[in-house]
A and B are shown apart, each in its own frame.
Chain A
């Protein structure tokens, strides 16, 4: 137990088993990002998966929309302590984009329009755990929430769910992305409060 602050009682004790430690429930949908919001036009949008051998597979916006989509309803958790329950999305499972590829990569670097990057283990994007999402709450994803498309990996802190996603680079070696380079945790499990390096 930490040092007790006299008189502090706290009140956000929902006891909700779906809330990871240190998180509070947000009713709104806060926005956090490091620079201006890129306005990405779907006419020129392209999504690429590149394997560690350099094989590149690309999808246009129309091709992405033509793929089988799923409608996950998931809880999301931001490193800045808010969580949001039962968020409703629509998107293409990463399995659909990566499943057929010939790869021995264990890691993925996610790239975004605007230059943002974040790294994850490939296994965390497969088996129905991650999507390229293009709808939120039944509507097209707005630019400030990452539209036209963002990565959605609800079991990790939300900085891993890169907005304005542009591609996945499969890699045999793990390398830090944007926030990971400035001290955020390499993996980011909200249930273990992996906020920063060393957590």
Chain B
């Protein structure tokens, strides 16, 4: 039985674009109809495969942006300069067009609404996507698990899910860190996430929060190192890194 479940999860399914929303000038949320989708946990990802008319294929992994919701699946795709797959998905890809999707994949960087401990989400840029899925799963499950989100982005214009995150939610604290340009009227200067940020905005180590950190490699390395230095348990720090390394 287990074997059947596994091969079903990993089968390629045909998905069709049902709706899309532009989050920023370079990022688009794609809503797919995906008949037969088995459901997933917040934080998991999928593989997306595109096939050209001559049979050439390209495949990439993308985080799911929302918790399980029947046959609907949402991804938010950041356009990468020269990105073979992302440039198509954020450009010519149109309503009704098919792609193939398989998953869900990854059970480690995942949050279950039954987990009682506080949650610390640390997002760098497009690393917000799987963390937003956790925020939405919390709301969908109607649980009061305390959440803190620290969201680092270059400029206010690059924020994903801006309207939704602007609406206050009880038990969800949000701290924004701007590295290049502050919102109008906000005092201070742009800065990167640092010890002071996490010392002030994160849960104290003794609260035993589970931390989920997602972003570019250097960002994740920095945030995880700071949490360790502040005394957080390394076994409660889960990371997902993307992009080039520092060297």
A-to-B contact residues, CB < 8 Å: 1-13, 22, 24, 28-38, 80-81, 114-115, 142, 144-145, 182-183, 195-199
Contacts and interface: CB of A to CB of B under 8 A. Distances in A.
B26 interface: no
A36 B97 contact: no
Contacts of B228: 36
Contacts of B167: none
Contacts of B243: 30
Nearest to A23: B59
B238 A8 contact: no
A34 B109 contact: yes
B242 A30 contact: yes
B98 interface: yes
A4 B94 CA distance: 13
B99 A5 contact: yes
A146 B247 CA distance: 14
B195 interface: no
Interface stretch (B45-53, B149-157, B173-181): B45-53
B100 interface: yes
Contact of B246 (A4, A22, A33, A144): A144
Contacts of A28: 244-245
Given A34-B108, A36-B224, A182-B108, A10 B56 contact: yes
Interface of B: 3, 6-7, 9-10, 12, 14, 47, 49-53, 55-61, 84, 88, 92-94, 97-100, 105-109, 217, 221, 224-225, 227-228, 234-235, 237-239, 241-247
B235 A115 contact: yes
A145 B245 CA distance: 9
A8 B52 contact: yes
B245 A144 contact: yes
A195 B59 CA distance: 12
A29 B245 contact: yes
13 contacts: A3-B14, A3-B99, A5-B88, A7-B97, A9-B53, A11-B84, A30-B243, A31-B221, A35-B235, A37-B225, A183-B10, A197-B10, A199-B10
B97 A6 contact: yes
A80 B98 contact: no
Contact of B237 (A1, A30, A36, A195): A36
A95 B108 CA distance: 33
A33 to B, nearest CB: 7
A114 B247 contact: no
Nearest to A80: B61
B37 to A, nearest CB: 16
A176 B57 CA distance: 30
B52 A31 contact: no
Contact of A142 (B47, B60, B97, B247): B247
B50 A5 contact: yes
A30 B61 CA distance: 14
Contacts of A31: 217, 221, 241, 245
B239 A7 contact: no
Given A34-B238, A114-B234, A8 B6 contact: no
Nearest to B48: A5
In this complex, which of B55, B241, B242 has the most chain A Cβ atoms within 10 angstroms of its Cβ?
A: B241
Contacts of A198: 3, 6-7, 10
Contacts of A34: 108-109, 238-239
Contacts of A197: 6, 10
Given A3-B98, A142-B247, A24 B84 contact: yes
Contacts of A38: 234
Contact of A8 (B9, B51, B105, B109): B51
B241 A32 contact: yes
A32 B106 CA distance: 13
